[in-house]
A and B are shown apart, each in its own frame.
Chain A
């Protein structure tokens, strides 16, 4: 069994699969420049839908709200997820670990409608009991998003921390550094790429969520997916195509930049490790 051949059944399926994944997105981009209200019937090139998009206050406001929510959510989720991932990767068995693992992995597969209704009922009950959160809106959306995003970040951080070389931290501890200092000076820089990846993942998940936000949001707080959904329900519309194209463009650029950065950091890390190994070889 030598090199894999592209002209085989799996090779052909690979091309079919990529076609399946990308043709719809490419069509969306193409139709966003279509000068016809019918969207899927070609009527020449235009950029007017982009102009209309930027004049639509409802969409702009919703987009700004969604970006704020996503940024705050991602930050909270990274803090919670790193702590949970650290506990799961490092602390071995502790009391309640079973329940903890369960609560961390369950949100990954929990149907969104169930998460949504359960959080809403919690917020309503809390408001009755302690008067907080007063009404629903941005705060409740952030709490709800942070909860399920933290689960994803935990998985990312746990797998990164498991593969981390513990001897670096042990060396620092042996040399008298305090555990907190070790975490911030040794552990944190090493896991930084995973932290960035986790943050971006949480950001995207939050920006993308329609169902949970619809349940826990209140009047006046409509996120971008909520506005898009109510428009899309009435059928295809050209300005949504323009919005989608912008979204795909930003995400693609973001992913390319992020992966380039992570790739470079990984390279430096490997080089540093090799240098360290070489130095170790000389001294021993």
Chain B
């Protein structure tokens, strides 16, 4: 007994540090364990339900259409149970290149998305500017008013425009009542209606990043410019606009990228000749039940969007790093 007591007394390095280091080891192990778990669960989920699906799309796009369940031929097949046969079919991609429909809808999607993005920027920039410069007390309320429509159904908001734009809709009725026109102007089922629909639906996505950069803008820079006799429009062009460029880029990409693949808006507001690539994919899939061609269209959309997406990712990563 005495022996062990003395041992604890003078040799306090060995005996007492053992449980301590044991605890420290346990804590580290626990941390490492929970750390791994915290990363692994969402990581595996995203790998399985986000990354793997794209590989499958790529695979199916290289298979052939077949009247079967599911409607495509297998890529790998055991022939006589001896050797594995790999059949790659680039026919779907050739088909996309040969048929004008795809090229036209591809270019048309880019055109419609670009024009709508520009319209959203023209409307959204002054709004974001006004909110960023408004009194701090009402700023939250003003921002709230921008976000609120985003929380109501997207489908319902697109639907609302049918009643406004159609031949006996609100705009035509008002114009006829005022005597400006006697025949209704066709607005629904035109590209114009699609521009309005996209601008309307994606406006919050433009305003929020713009607001974030404009709000951080140092007012003293503007004051300095004004003191030195710079006219307001020039201050805007040489100071405000360049400094808010990250917001312009982020907002434009947030509108442009989903707009390119948009389906609901051209389906409800566009005419039969408003070809957009997302709509073509939908028709290939649901109307023609041609899964391989639909997959090839999906890959084509991704190829089109990969550059803007990488730019978006990069600007996102940079802005979070700055905040941290």
Report which A residues bind B (CB closer than 8 A). 1, 3-4, 6, 8-11, 13-14, 16-18, 20-22, 24-25, 27-28, 31, 38-41, 80-81, 83-84, 86-87, 89, 91, 94, 96, 100-114, 117-119, 121-122, 124-125, 128, 143-144, 147, 150, 154, 158-159, 162-163, 178-180, 204, 207-208, 210-211, 214-215, 225, 228-229, 232-233, 235-236, 240-241, 243-244, 247-248, 251-252, 254-255, 259
- Identify which of residues 15-74 in chain B touch chain A, using a CB-to-CB cut-off of 8 Å: 27, 30-31, 34-35, 38-39, 41-43, 45-54, 56-57, 60, 70
Q: Which chain A residues lie closer than 8 Å to B264 at the CB level?
A: 210-211, 229
CB distance from B188 to the nearest CB of A (A): 10
CB distance from A194 to the nearest CB of B (A): 15
- Identify which of residues 112-167 in chain B touch chain A, using a CB-to-CB cut-off of 8 Å: 123-124, 126-127, 129-131, 133-135, 142, 144-146, 148-149, 151-157, 159-164, 166
For the complex, what is the distance from the CA of A228 to the CA of B160, rounded to whole Å? 13
Contact across chains for B267 and A233 when beta carbons are under 8 A apart? yes
Q: Which chain B residues lie closer than 8 Å to A150 at the CB level?
A: 42, 45-46
Contact across chains for A100 and B163 when beta carbons are under 8 A apart? no
Contact across chains for A84 and B42 when beta carbons are under 8 A apart? yes
For the complex, what is the distance from the CA of A10 to the CA of B52, rounded to whole Å? 46
For the complex, what is the distance from the CA of A240 to the CA of B163, rounded to whole Å? 12
Nearest B residue to A17 via CB reads B127
CB distance from A118 to the nearest CB of B (A): 3
Nearest B residue to A228 via CB reads B155
Contact across chains for B46 and A104 when beta carbons are under 8 A apart? yes
For the complex, what is the distance from the CA of A27 to the CA of B298, rounded to whole Å? 37
Contact across chains for A109 and B39 when beta carbons are under 8 A apart? no
Contact across chains for A1 and B169 when beta carbons are under 8 A apart? no
Contact across chains for A39 and B153 when beta carbons are under 8 A apart? no
Please report whether the interface of chain A is mostly helix, strand, loop or mixed according to DSSP: helix
Cβ contact of A105, chosen from B155, B263, B313, cutoff 8 A: B313
- Given A86-B38, A91-B35, A100-B43, A211 and B263 contact (CB-CB distance below 8 Å): yes
Q: At the interface, yes or no: B241 with Cβ under 8 Å from chain A?
A: no
Q: At the interface, yes or no: B275 with Cβ under 8 Å from chain A?
A: no
Q: At the interface, yes or no: B173 with Cβ under 8 Å from chain A?
A: yes
CB distance from B283 to the nearest CB of A (A): 11
Cβ contact of A107, chosen from B50, B173, B295, cutoff 8 A: B50
Q: Which chain A residues lie closer than 8 Å to B163 at the CB level?
A: 27-28, 31, 39-40, 236, 241
For the complex, what is the distance from the CA of A6 to the CA of B129, rounded to whole Å? 11
CB distance from B64 to the nearest CB of A (A): 15
Q: Which chain A residues lie closer than 8 Å to B135 at the CB level?
A: 3-4
Cβ contact of B268, chosen from A28, A232, A247, cutoff 8 A: A232
Q: Which chain A residues lie closer than 8 Å to B270 at the CB level?
A: none
**What are 26 residue pairs bridging A and B, where the CB atoms are less than 8 Å apart in the complex?**
A1-B222, A1-B226, A4-B133, A13-B127, A14-B131, A14-B142, A18-B145, A21-B149, A40-B163, A40-B166, A40-B168, A80-B41, A100-B43, A102-B313, A103-B47, A112-B263, A113-B278, A113-B281, A207-B153, A208-B155, A228-B155, A232-B268, A235-B162, A243-B156, A244-B160, A251-B148
Contact across chains for B123 and A13 when beta carbons are under 8 A apart? yes
Nearest B residue to A97 via CB reads B39
Given A117-B295, A159-B323, A211-B282, 6 more A-B residue pairs with CB atoms under 8 Å apart are A11-B130, A39-B163, A40-B166, A103-B47, A211-B263, A244-B156
Contact across chains for B320 and A162 when beta carbons are under 8 A apart? yes
Contact across chains for A10 and B155 when beta carbons are under 8 A apart? no
- Given A10-B130, A107-B50, A204 and B123 contact (CB-CB distance below 8 Å): no
Cβ contact of B160, chosen from A27, A106, A233, A259, cutoff 8 A: A27
Q: Which chain B residues lie closer than 8 Å to A154 at the CB level?
A: 42
Q: Which chain A residues lie closer than 8 Å to B169 at the CB level?
A: 40
